[in-house]
């Protein structure tokens, strides 16, 4: 088991990967540097290997797929994750790793947004997108995370081995944050530097298509992790719509003793039934989710025992 494993997922980062590997080797000399190549066509793997990294491959395209393989393959006391585009200065890596090694956190979030991100990042709409995602997650999960989508993070063994990765692309960071909040992991945020990509290095993140994927992931995880709130709100919306259309029908009946709009009455009755079913579904799923959380805690206990045996 490595003491520190530096994880660098890469797709066509040949221009910057040698510098990233060199910088992290200097910042964390005791660490093993892992570069996972994701079908690069610019010899990223060869350059990383020459720079001293352990190079492995993931052939399913997407950052989420790469991180899934990393988490499965590598055993370490502390995992430090960064990007291969040289946007996260290596001098911050020690601060992230120390929080894990000292037992102060299960996941450390490198907070770009409180430092240089908004001035360094030149890509249109990215700043707005980060604020939107941060606001939604903090509202839904009653948290105060400053940077949801940062690629600079550190993890302990228990988090890595218990994290069920479902996302395949750039929405993976959002999934990590929500999973940590839901499972009550210890989170620590540390401001880290951020610099824009060097000239000639191209971002693989599509502002709109990947942004919609992130929003869809938030909606899916809201449904999965907080089913009573999710289905309760849907039920409340159906109830409000049904009541708005039913009120005139009821007032007309009270005034005349007749029901002039039977189709509206039937539609309102259907919406009331749907509203009730949504609430009941939310209650049932909330009980199941709570049971899963209890089983998850038992699983974490088993992971801790396994780690002590292997350590």
Task: State pLDDT tens for residues 202-228.
Answer: 565 666 676 788 888 889 889 999 999
pLDDT reading at 68 higher than 80: yes
Q: What is the mean pLDDT of the chain?
A: 89
Q: Where are the domains of the chain?
A: 2-223, 227-310
* Nearest one of 82, 81, 61 to 11, comparing CA atoms: 61
Q: pTM for the whole thing?
A: 0.81
pLDDT of residue 168: 85
What are the helix (H) ranges across 3-120?
A: 17-27, 44-51, 63-73, 93-101, 117-120
State the Cα–Cα distance between residues 33 and 182, nearest whole angstrom. 30
Q: Are 54 and 240 in contact (CB under 8 A)?
A: no
Beta strand 76-81 with 153-156: parallel, antiparallel or unpaired? antiparallel
State the Cα–Cα distance between residues 145 and 168, nearest whole angstrom. 23
Q: Are 193 and 89 in contact (CB under 8 A)?
A: yes
- Note the pLDDT tens digit of each residue in 262-308: 899 999 999 999 999 999 999 999 999 999 989 988 888 888 887 77
Q: Looking at domain 2-223, what is its CATH homologous superfamily?
A: Spore Coat Polysaccharide Biosynthesis Protein SpsA; Chain A (3.90.550.10)
Q: What are the phi and psi torsion angles at 168 (to 5°)?
A: -110, -15
- Note the pLDDT tens digit of each residue in 153-208: 999 999 999 999 988 888 899 899 999 999 999 999 999 998 876 665 556 566 66
- Alpha-carbon dihedral of residues 176, 182, 184, 189, nearest 10 degrees? 40
State the Cα–Cα distance between residues 223 and 217, nearest whole angstrom. 10
pLDDT of residue 87: 92
pLDDT of residue 199: 65
* Nearest one of 125, 23, 158 to 83, comparing CA atoms: 23
Query: Residue 297 is encoded by which pair of tokens?
Result: 């805690």
Query: Residue 199 is encoded by which pair of tokens?
Result: 């000239």
Coil, helix or strand at residue 192: coil
């Amino acid at each position: 088991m490595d003491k520190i494993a530096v994880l660098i997922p890469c797709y066509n980062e040949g221009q910057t990967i040698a510098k990233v590997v060199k910088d992290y080797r200097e910042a964390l000399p005791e660490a093993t540097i892992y570069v996972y190549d994701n079908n690069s066509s610019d010899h990223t793997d060869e350059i990383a290997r020459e720079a001293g990294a352990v190079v492995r491959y993931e052939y399913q395209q997407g950052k989420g797929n790469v991180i899934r393989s990393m988490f499965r393959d590598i055993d370490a006391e502390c995992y430090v994750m960064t990007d291969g585009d040289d946007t996260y200065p290596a001098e911050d890596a020690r601060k992230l790793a120390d929080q894990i090694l000292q037992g102060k956190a299960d996941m450390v979030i490198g907070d770009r947004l409180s430092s240089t991100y908004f001035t360094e990042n030149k890509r249109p709409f990215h700043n707005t997108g980060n604020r939107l995602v941060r606001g939604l997650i903090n509202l839904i999960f009653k948290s105060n995370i400053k940077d949801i989508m940062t690629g600079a993070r550190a993890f302990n063994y228990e988090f890595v081995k218990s994290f069920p990765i479902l996302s395949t692309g750039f929405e993976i960071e959002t999934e990590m944050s929500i999973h940590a909040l839901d499972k009550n992991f210890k989170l620590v945020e540390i401001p880290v530097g951020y610099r824009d990509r060097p000239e000639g290095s191209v971002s693989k993140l599509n502002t709109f298509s990947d942004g919609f994927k992130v929003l869809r992931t938030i909606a899916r995880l809201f449904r999965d992790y907080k089913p009573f709130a999710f289905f309760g709100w849907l039920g409340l919306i159906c109830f409000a719509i049904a009541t708005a259309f039913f009120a005139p029908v009821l007032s007309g009946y009270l005034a005349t003793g007749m029901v002039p709009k039977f189709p509206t009455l039937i539609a309102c009755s259907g919406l009331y039934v749907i509203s009730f079913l949504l609430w009941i579904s939310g209650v049932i799923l909330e009980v199941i989710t709570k049971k899963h959380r209890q089983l998850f805690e038992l699983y974490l206990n088993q992971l801790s025992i396994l780690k002590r045996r292997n350590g």
